[in-house]
Amino acid sequence: MIPKGVGCCLAVKREKQRERDKKQIHKIAFIFMLGLALPVFPGLVNAPDRTAADLPLYSEVIIAAVGDVMVHSPQYKAQYRQETGTYDFTNNFRFIKPYLLRADLALANLETTFGGEAIGYSGFPRFNTPDSLAGALKDAGFNLIITANNHTVDTGINGVFRTIDVLRERGLQAIGTRKPEDEKSYIVKDINGIKIGFSAYTFETPRVSGKKTLNGIIVPQEYEDLIDTFSYQDLGAGLPKIKERIEALREEGAEFIVLYLHWGEEYQREPNRAQRKIASTLANYGVDLIFGSHPHVLQPIEYVQSDDGSKATLVFFSLGNFLSNQRYERLKKKYTEDGAIVYVEVKKDLHTGEVFIAGFSYLPTWVHKYTKKQRLVYEILPLNDTLGNFEYYNLLTGESIRRAVNSKRNTVNLFKKPPLPVGQQARALPAAGLERSGEEPSIPPPDAATK
């Protein structure tokens, strides 16, 4: 008889393991049969003198991530539908949805809150967005939503909790904040047999009378622990707390650790000293992958090595704006319209159990804002595909085409592929379907049928 609770979970786990083992055996059997069949066609291949146990066997996960999803006041006004009296954001994501669905899991930073209609919707400086954005994010293919950023408490602590509720109601998981009754603000997910731990942190704004603030708003002391933050003024205290979190993720079985960090300086295309210090400390802690956001522009991709050279952490210092109204005309800042979907391919060697990054790629994106029938339209464009199909993607003016072309060029120039650190090369494998070399990665055209 299976005891209740733990035993039951163990039984389920064992059953899942058995299923995985069965799948593995099927894979091995298939490859072995392929080995037997191939010598029939002697021109094709030399029959390998190997047993099935020697053959490489991998499990694979593709993680996609984007930067800041922002909703300024002109945006939610543009998404209002007179006919229904509701807000609908789905058209913002219509062109990039197939590219998000290519991944096993997709992450985005929600740089706003769902504080509810009763307190009034608002944009900068205190963001409160209609709940329907959550449904649009889910529909676009996102799974994990980062809720730890400098706008987390823009609609107060109730807004923090309500945001989590709204996301959960739509089947999305909030990372970086939790409600008082929740145990965790982080998660370990088993995807294709690889256990991946996700956690998110944001920088705090300077303390007021010793109290934690975000966007200058004091976080009620009894709720401080519900938002995952660190202070640039006290990294000596903040970083060990992140280390404890990493240990907690590992205790829960995480074989691969992903941190999403809200950090850096706005509009700076290079990481600052604090970002570099945090990244190298996290490399020492054994973090595998870091996604960054907050600067509202893209920053470079680098492998950051641990002090002893044993670990290379893949760091996307800033993923820029995925959606916003930060236009050149308004801010006079270049690059705030540019974003990217980045894809990281994580593999597990099923013989050795080793989990590692096998490759990564990216798709440059750009927010196209235009007017149609006297109404503003915002559409995120997948630039690799867009530039050959202007009309399909509603790029109907010379100016919009010029800006889209410029955006792609700027992103490709910034996102140069960093070479894998010495010692890591042997582990990286050719990644099917992901561009691994050259300066202009291309994502194959979306194929909805594959998902």
Nearer to Zn ion, 75 or 149 (CB): 149
Give the separation between CA 426 and CA 113, rounded to whole angstroms.
44
Our finding on whether 294 is near Zn ion (CB under 5 A) is yes
Position 276, amino acid? R
Minimum Å distance from CB 151 to Zn ion? 6
Give the separation between CA 172 and CA 106, rounded to whole angstroms.
11
Position 431, amino acid? A
337, 329 in Cβ contact below 8 A? Answer: no
Report how far apart the first and last C-alpha atoms of the chain are (Å, whole number). Answer: 39
Nearer to Zn ion, 102 or 294 (CB): 294
**CA-wise closest residue to 193 among 264, 133, 253, 273:** 253
Nearer to Zn ion, 72 or 294 (CB): 294
Nearer to Zn ion, 42 or 125 (CB): 125
Nearer to Zn ion, 245 or 294 (CB): 294
Positions 198 through 237 that interact with Zn ion (CB under 5 A): none
Nearer to Zn ion, 145 or 346 (CB): 145
**Which structure tokens are listed for 157?**
């602590």
DSSP letter assigned to residue 351: T
**Phi and psi at residue 36, in whole multiples of 5°?**
-70, -35
Minimum Å distance from CB 149 to Zn ion? 5
Our finding on whether 126 is near Zn ion (CB under 5 A) is no
Largest CA distance in the chain: 79
Write the DSSP assignment of 257-325 as a string of letters. EEEEEE-S-TT-SS--HHHHHHHHHHHHTT--EEEEESSSSEEEEEEEE-TTSS-EEEEEEEEBEEE--
Positions 145 through 164 that interact with Zn ion (CB under 5 A): 149-150
Our finding on whether 92 is near Zn ion (CB under 5 A) is no
Number of residues in contact with Zn ion under rule CB under 5 A? 3
- The residue number whose beta carbon is nearest to Zn ion equals 294
Minimum Å distance from CB 131 to Zn ion? 21
Minimum Å distance from CB 147 to Zn ion? 12
Minimum Å distance from CB 68 to Zn ion? 6
Nearer to Zn ion, 232 or 390 (CB): 232
**What are the CA-CA distances from residue 87 to residues 91, 331, 410 (Å)?**
11, 26, 33
Minimum Å distance from CB 364 to Zn ion? 21
Minimum Å distance from CB 203 to Zn ion? 9
- Which residues of this chain interact with Zn ion, rule CB under 5 A? 149-150, 294
